[in-house]
Amino acid sequence: MHFFNSNFYGMSFLLIYVLLFLSSVWELGSASTPSQLQLEANAIINSGWWNLSSSDSHNICSLIHGIHCNDDGSVIRIKYLCFKGRIQLATLNLSAFKNLEFFEVAYCLGGTIPPEIGTLSKLTYLELSFNALQGEIPFSIGSLSKLIFLDLSHNSLHDEIPFTIENLSKLTHLNLYHNSLQGKIPSTIGNISKLTYLDLSYNSLQGEIPSTIKNLTQLWSLVISNNYIEGSIPFELSFLRNLSDVDLSYNKINGTLSFSLSNLTNLQNLDVSHNLLTDSLKPFAGRDFSFLESLDLSYNNLTGLPLVLNSHDVDISFNNLKGSIPEGLNPYALKGNKGVCSDNLNIQIKYQFQPCSVRHKKLTLNWNHNQNQLVIILLITIFLTMAFILYLYTRLNRVAIKKKHARLTETSKNGDLFCIWNYDGSIAYEDIITATEDFDIKYCIGTGAYGSVYRAELPSGKIVAVKKLHGFEAEVPTFDGSFKNEVKVLSEIKHRHIVKLHGFYFHKRIVFLIYEYMEKGSMLSILFDDMGAMELDWIKRVNTVKGTAHALSYLHHDCVPPIVHRDVSTSNVLLNSNWEPTVSDFGTARFLNLDSSNQTIVVGTIGYIAPELAYTTVVNEKCDVYSFGVVALETLMGKHPKNILSSLQTTSTVCEILDQRLPHPTVSVLQDIVVVAIVAFACLNPNPCSRPTMKCISQCFLTRLTPFNIPLHHISLQQLMSQELTHYLKL
């Protein structure tokens, strides 16, 4: 009986389970009323992100890394940081994800943010940073009433911030950094009372900071730098006692420091530099700001006397302060204030301060009234003589110091200040910002791996090229190290065919190098343009190859220790108005240590890297020789040679590989073209030991050779690669 009962209940449980399973299968298979799971799966499949088919729709969560589902199989979390290709966000049917709570995608999205984003009613975390999203932030964003975290930074969003953002009453983190947002900061932002972090920097926002910001009493970080904010700093900031970091730099804020710093006892970092503040520092005298870790008031119009502000890091440079440097304050914090003075000669020279007025001290002397008048005259004469000698010595010493300093800096009335290691960029910085309109894109003449290059015409009429590191990459050690390496290399070498470094400017938020301007641009851009390629005739091309060879020979054989460029390519060979070449971009250059193996990671431009670097990490001069061979051959062909050694028939002639956009070479330049071709093929030898040195190549171009009697159309590539011609050129 017991056995019967147990089996009866077991069979009943099994029957119920089968009925439930068949019911779920019927629901999933119904074509007329698709289930929530089907909608989510179809949305992912139709987006094309993962190239899945409809047969995989039942297993989305287990197939895709970064997709998480609840126990019912519905998607509640999407976290994917590295998709392949560019995906249009609008192709994902967002309305299908009714249970989505966490949505983070980076480095792959494009297009616009669709209004359907507002249907994700359960969303608490939304991060779409580091994408290529364009268009406006939809008004429907205000429907995400449960949202706590919102990050749309590093995109290309424009138009105004929607006023509906006030509906995000639970939001604590709002980051719209590095977009192209315009208009005013909406006053409704003050209704997000739980906000603790707000970053609107690097946009094009205008108008004033709304007074409603006083309602953000839980805010601890406020960043609105690098915009066009005007007006004064609202006094209402004094009410935000939880503030720890405030950055309003690089705007057009005027007026005074009206808000009360003494109320913000939790404030650690305050940056209002590069604005139009006209306040006096006198009201701050005697106040204790020891709670501040850093205070940056530089590049304003502040007046008054320099103060000893009790803070770890103070910068009140480039204002209109007057008076002597107070004891205990670093003179660096006061540089650029024309009214600040110092009686310390070293400080005067280093920071360009004027000497303070001489303060006469009264000397009280107790003379004996019965002393002989002659003794008095004698003492006075001795005193004046010693004073004259001391003055003469001081004057000569000061002149010597100024002469020594003049060798390190070049100054002009218009602020055209350029030097190398001791250059702080104080004067030239303002000229560069003005000349490029704060690095407006219309002055950009090229973009590379480490930064963009701008054309800048200084007040003196001098035109320079400014290479600026990308703003958000300025703090990345790799990029910062590349810039410093380029400064180190170019400051220690000088050659006619190597680009001249005029100066540099390093700051925690902006880094740029100032070069000699090359009017014609790079060889790569010239060869790519048909008009430019035709203007670059055979004589100019031969001279370009020769100049590049002389520059590399100088780096390899005349510098101690030798320098390997490691990125010789047509994009790094620039031409001036006279079509004279210069080698540029020394960000990856390296000084060779003759006592070590010189191992390094592989760097350079694809298509110019020596083949041996594919299996070895040892760098030497022969790597540059191979790259030079590619550049020389590309100059003759007018295009990158690619795999010319293996793809072309050895019976091909020189005429067949020359740039067909130019007329046939004349007899006067024919000899030089053949020599360049022979040198190029010798440099492209797969065996590094068989390649010539740059010194041999440079000397070869300087040697007058016996003319060839063979017509150009009869010279084959096989003959060019023969050892007889190589030995003939003494390579």
Task: Print burial letters for 559-576: b (CB count within 10 Å at least 16), e (below 16).
Answer: eeebbbbbbbbbbbbbbe
Q: Please confirm, yes or no, whether 585 is among the known catalytic residues.
A: no
Closest by alpha carbon to 538, among 674, 398, 390? 674
Residue from 151, 315, 567, 672 carrying the catalytic annotation? 567
Residue with tokens 């000669």: 345
CA pair distance 559, 493, nearest whole angstrom? 8
Sequence-distant (≥ 6) Cβ neighbours of residue 64 within 8 angstroms = 44, 50, 52
DSSP secondary structure, 691-725, as one string: SPPHHHHHHHHHSPPPPP-S-GGG-BHHHHTSHHH
DSSP 8-state code for residue 556: I
Q: Which helix (H) or strand (E) holds 16?
A: helix 2-29
Would you call 695 exposed, middle or buried from its count of C-beta atoms within 10 A (0-12, 13-18, 19+)? Answer: middle
DSSP 8-state code for residue 257: -
The answer to whether the beta carbons of residues 139 and 116 sit under 8 Å apart is no
How many other C-beta atoms are found inside a 10 Å radius of the C-beta of residue 532? 15
Residue with tokens 């400080």: 347
Which sign, positive or negative, has the C-alpha torsion 12, 18, 19, 21?
positive
Sequence-distant (≥ 6) Cβ neighbours of residue 707 within 8 angstroms = 671
How many other C-beta atoms are found inside a 10 Å radius of the C-beta of residue 375? 11
The answer to whether the beta carbons of residues 39 and 93 sit under 8 Å apart is yes
DSSP 8-state code for residue 174: E
Q: Which helix (H) or strand (E) holds 453?
A: strand 451-457
Which conformational region is residue 610 in: left (phi greater than 0), alpha (psi within -120 to 50 degrees), or beta?
beta
Amino acid at 496: R
Q: Is 468 annotated as a binding residue?
A: yes
Residues belonging to the active site? 567
Task: Provide the annotated binding site for ATP.
Answer: 468
